[in-house]
Amino acid sequence: MRLLQILGVGCPKCEKLAANCEAAAKAAGVEYQLEKIKDIQKITAFGVMTTPALMIDGEVKVVGRVPTVEELKELIAEQE
């Protein structure tokens, strides 16, 4: 099971990233848990200064942008 963590305070881009991640994981047939981290201190503790950001299984993969569902599908699948 993949742990997908969305780092962001809840802006529209953060919500779009969360929706794209869910769509990508479902399309890739990957079991996942989606977690949203909105605490700015926790976000910066991961070394992220620009949101939205995506961590997959504890590793920062995307910062400051919203990738396409297709791009996310590849990122999520490559982790398996």
Output DSSP code: residue 29: T
21 is catalytic: no
Output DSSP code: residue 31: -
Distance of CA 17 to the CA centre of its chain: 6
Catalytic residue among 4, 7, 14, 28: 14
Catalytic residue among 9, 10, 11, 49: 11
| Cis before 12? omega within 30 | no
The C-alpha atoms of residue 57 and residue 55 are separated, in whole angstroms, by 6
- Catalytically active residues, by annotation: 11, 14
